[in-house]
Amino acid sequence: MKTTSRLFFLLINSALLLLFTYASCNRENEGPGAIQPNPEVRPRGTAVGNPVSATIPASGGELKSGDGKLLVKFPAGAIVNGTVISIQPIENTLPGGRLSAYRLLPEGLSLLKPVELIYTYSEEDIAGTSEDALFLAYQKNDGVWSFMTETSLDATNRKLTVTTNRFSDWAPFSLFWLTADPDAVKAGAESKLSIEITDTYLLAPEHKERAIGKSRTFNDKNKLSNWKLTGQGSLAVREDQSGATFKSPTQVDGAANVTISVDLNRVIPEDTLPRIRLSQQLHIYKRVRFYQETYFIAKAGNDEINFPAHYYFYQDGILSVVGAHKTTSGTPSISLMMGVGQELKSRVYPWNQDITDGTAVMGYVLTLTDGYISTHACDDVVSPGAVAAEVIEEDGVTYIQGEFDGKVFRNRDCDDDFSLPIRGVFRVKAR
């Protein structure tokens, strides 16, 4: 009897220990044979443009961001009394955070019903990743970002949608991306390419929100293949397929782009997939620019322009970066005028009605009689977006390098509301 009782006691304890161990593993590893990642605290994004505001009545309504990419839809009853709502464009502090980010104001707004967030992405937005890996994410007060696994993907119309009651900082987030370091190189120089991935996917698949952890280089050679270069130069692939090195040609007229692509095969374990299409083979690509010394490339509406003449000048606290054609009329041309103050410094300058310290104005001259500017002549309307300018010293020469995006308005009369989306990149030296 004593022996039987002892065995029964051992069996019970073994079962309890096994159950406890299983539960502990599920809590701590919640994924396939790996340690649960620690969420990473990231800084709050700084403002990079002007907010858009509207008063939402109790009957409901909607508000769209200045760049037109984020739409917030309020159902009837979400707000009891009319409330002023704003969308502020901010810096994206997520890993690989190239896509736009927004601050919904007032922060922490108490909603009686959830609102719908709809983000529209472009082909350029997803260069370096796959739309199947895109989700909407928000940042908590502690600085940790979490992405919503139930983000609805409409690939046909390029839209991401979530329903939420959180008024916070929001941005699109990708589980992985193809990076180039740097993504613009001089002629004859090299750029290192690799796949960066976060360990977020190790969390249990039933979680509707997953905290985003640190990123790391993905190097499973069985899940990476078919590295390919389209364009000039050469591509050397690592033996373990974890990355590649692009070497640009030694000569180029101004600047040019190449496309580097790779196939990903089930980089997200199937039992943690937030979307089933991630279990298929995915083809992603990245564009890398190479240049002789300087460049100014822009896209205005549907027109792509590579300006052969480009330079900057700095006078009376205003930095002007100019791209133009070498013709007697000097058209078309783009001028970016930034209020930098007493010294040249790297900074993001949102568009403004006037050139003040820390803000900018953009002008686009298409012909001698067809001009555009980043603010409407009569209405109190300013372009969304900004110009990000970086001051670089190389071999005793000062370069201004950066990128810009926004909208320019044709200013013929007060009733003319025609506008053009515009974006570009530049690297220029003094005139």
E runs forming strands in 276-346: 281-291, 295-300, 303-306, 309-315, 318-324, 333-339
pTM of this structure = 0.81
pLDDT of 3: 36
Report the candidate in 173, 182, 245, 157 with the shortest Cα–Cα distance to residue 212. 173
pLDDT of amino acid 369: 80
pLDDT, position 151: 94
Looking at residue 269, what is its pLDDT? 67
177-291 and 52-174 share a CATH fold: no
Per-residue pLDDT of the chain (431 residues; tens, 9 = 90+): 443 343 333 333 433 333 333 333 333 333 333 445 578 899 999 888 778 999 999 999 999 998 889 999 999 999 888 889 999 999 899 887 777 899 999 998 889 999 999 999 988 888 899 999 999 999 999 999 999 988 999 999 999 999 999 999 999 999 999 999 999 999 999 999 999 998 765 555 556 888 888 888 988 888 999 999 999 999 999 998 999 999 999 999 888 999 999 999 887 766 566 776 777 788 999 999 999 999 999 999 988 898 989 999 999 999 999 999 876 656 789 999 999 999 998 988 889 889 999 899 999 998 878 889 999 877 778 888 889 999 999 999 999 999 999 999 987 677 778 889 999 999 999 98
The total of other beta-carbon atoms located within 10 Å of residue 361's CB is: 24
CB-based burial, 17-32: b 16+ in 10 Å, e otherwise: eeeeeeeeeeeeebbe
Beta strands (DSSP E) in 60-205 are: 61-64, 70-74, 83-90, 101-105, 115-120, 134-139, 145-148, 152-154, 159-164, 169-174, 176-181, 184-186, 190-198
In this structure, CATH architecture of domain 177-291: Sandwich (2.60)
CATH placement of domain 52-174: 2.60.220.30
Amino acid letter for position 106: P
pLDDT at 273: 63
Q: Reduce the secondary structure of 334-358 to three states and give it as a string.
A: EEEEEECCCCCCCEEEEECCCCCEC
What pLDDT does residue 7 have?
A: 33
Q: Could you tell me which of 237, 238, 229, 132 has the C-alpha nearest to residue 177?
A: 132
Domain extent listing, the chain: 52-174, 177-291, 295-429
Tokens in use for 176? 């992985």
